[in-house]
């Protein structure tokens, strides 16, 4: 059996056409069933539904042979034990610094003052500010990051931006987009060796579907 880990929502939906191009159809709808193991039209391939942030962990430890995860999630995880053969070019967005409209980010950065940044993406944020030589106090959050500058918890946030609607709705300004994000196919390195005959054609078919788009 080949097991693929996907998260519900945009990753599942945007991966479906790539699987279809490889001849794989998921026969259950994750929005209609409470099942976490979904069958496909191929008896030897199943899909498991996990949290987006858990996909690398499942694949790293062999709970799944392969999966789809955002670059953001992979950078936070570290990518240990994972082979990353394909950028699937789905779930595209960017990682940005955002702040209140009245916060002078450029001046704060130039003056070399310490800034307080709230984020779910502490590894990515730490690396970004280290590259800029900016002193930063990071505050780890698990969601609703937009609230942090509005309540005085932080000067700025590091978060994903796509249309910019979430920032706009909360009167925040994108002050520094710094990384393009898309989702990658990740494969367990041991599984790639042991199940190579089945995994390689699957990876190649998905790769061909990405190239066609
Ligand atoms: N607004 C967006 N537009 C496009 N892609 C996005 C957007 N937000 C997140 N993504 C990408 O999609 C991936 C999955 O996001 P999704 O919102 O489905 O899960 P999540 O809620 O972040 O994860 P979890 O359930 O673990 O908290 C993210 O890791 C990111 O790479
Ligand atoms: O720039 P935007 O298009 O507003 O997207 C950005 C938002 O999307 C993500 O959240 P989440 O996955 O909760 O948002 P969504 O599913 O509502 O897009 C992210 O954490 C931002 O809050």
Q: Tell whether 45 and 82 lie within a shared domain.
A: yes
Q: What is the pLDDT of residues 68-80, one digit of tens each?
A: 999 999 999 999 9
Q: Tell whether 97 and 87 lie within a shared domain.
A: no
Q: Tell whether 206 and 157 lie within a shared domain.
A: no
Q: Tell whether 131 and 176 lie within a shared domain.
A: yes
Burial group, residue 65, by CB count within 10 angstroms (0-12, 13-18, 19+):
buried
Q: Tell whether 102 and 167 lie within a shared domain.
A: yes
Query: Does residue 58 contact residue 7 with C-beta atoms inside 8 Å?
Result: no
pLDDT value at 213 more than 80: no
CA 192 / ligand 2 centre spacing (Å): 33
The 3-class SS string of 18-50 reads HHHHCCCCECCCCCCCCCCEEEECCCCEEEEEC
What integer is the mean pLDDT of 140-146? 98
Q: Whose CA is nearest to atom 9 of ligand 2?
A: 160
Q: Tell whether 69 and 84 lie within a shared domain.
A: yes
CA 33 / ligand 1 centre spacing (Å): 21
Instruction: Name the residue of 68, 74, 91 whose CB sits within 8 Å of the most ligand 1 atoms, as the mutation to test its pocket.
Output: 91
Query: Does residue 87 contact residue 76 with C-beta atoms inside 8 Å?
Result: no
Q: Tell whether 113 and 170 lie within a shared domain.
A: yes
Q: Whose CA is nearest to atom 5 of ligand 1?
A: 91
Mean of the per-residue pLDDT values for the chain?
A: 97
Q: What is the pLDDT of residues 164-205, one digit of tens each?
A: 999 999 999 999 999 999 999 999 999 999 999 999 999 999
- pLDDT for the residue 203: 97
pLDDT value at 95 more than 80: yes
Q: Tell whether 160 and 56 lie within a shared domain.
A: no
Determine the structural domain holding residue 143 and report its residue range: 93-180
Would you place residue 212 in the very low, low, confident or very high pLDDT band (cuts 50, 70, 90)?
confident
Beta-strand pair 156-161/45-49: unpaired
Q: Tell whether 145 and 186 lie within a shared domain.
A: no
Determine the 3-state secondary structure of 139 from DSSP: strand
Q: Tell whether 42 and 118 lie within a shared domain.
A: no
Residue 157: CATH number of its domain: 3.40.190.10
Q: Tell whether 6 and 60 lie within a shared domain.
A: yes
Determine if the pTM surpasses 0.90: yes
Q: Tell whether 64 and 118 lie within a shared domain.
A: no
User: How many independent structural domains does the chain possess?
Assistant: 2
CA 172 / ligand 2 centre spacing (Å): 14
Instruction: Name the residue of 5, 6, 7 whose CB sits within 8 Å of the most ligand 1 atoms, as the mutation to test its pocket.
Output: 7
Tokens at residue 10, please? 């945009």
With pLDDT > 90 as the criterion, what percentage of the chain qualifies?
97
CA 144 / ligand 2 centre spacing (Å): 10
- Give the atom of ligand 2 at the shortest distance from the alpha carbon of 160: 19
Would you place residue 113 in the very low, low, confident or very high pLDDT band (cuts 50, 70, 90)?
confident
Instruction: Name the residue of 8, 163, 166 whose CB sits within 8 Å of the most ligand 2 atoms, as the mutation to test its pocket.
Output: 166
ipTM of this complex prediction, to 2 decimal places? 0.95
Would you place residue 112 in the very low, low, confident or very high pLDDT band (cuts 50, 70, 90)?
confident
């Amino acid at each position: 059996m080949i097991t693929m880990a996907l998260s519900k929502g945009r990753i599942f939906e945007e991966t479906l056409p790539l699987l279809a191009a490889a001849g794989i159809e998921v026969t259950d709808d994750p929005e209609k069933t409470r099942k976490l193991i979904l069958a496909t039209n191929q008896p030897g391939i199943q899909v498991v539904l996990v949290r987006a942030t858990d996909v690398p962990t499942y694949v790293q430890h062999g709970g799944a042979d392969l999966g789809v995860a955002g670059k953001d999630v992979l950078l936070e995880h570290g990518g240990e034990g994972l082979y990353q053969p394909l950028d699937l070019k789905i779930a595209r967005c960017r990682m940005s610094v955002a702040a209140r409209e009245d916060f002078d980010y450029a001046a704060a950065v130039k003056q070399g003052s310490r800034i307080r940044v709230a984020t779910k993406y502490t590894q990515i944020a730490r690396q970004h500010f280290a590259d800029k030589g900016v002193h930063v106090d990071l505050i780890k959050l698990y969601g609703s990051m937009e609230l942090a500058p509005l309540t005085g918890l932080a000067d700025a946030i590091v978060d994903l931006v796509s249309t910019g609607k979430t920032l706009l709705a909360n009167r925040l300004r994108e002050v520094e987009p710094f990384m393009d994000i898309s989702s990658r196919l990740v494969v367990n390195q041991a599984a790639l060796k042991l199940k190579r005959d089945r995994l390689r054609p699957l990876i190649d078919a998905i790769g061909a579907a990405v190239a066609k788009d």
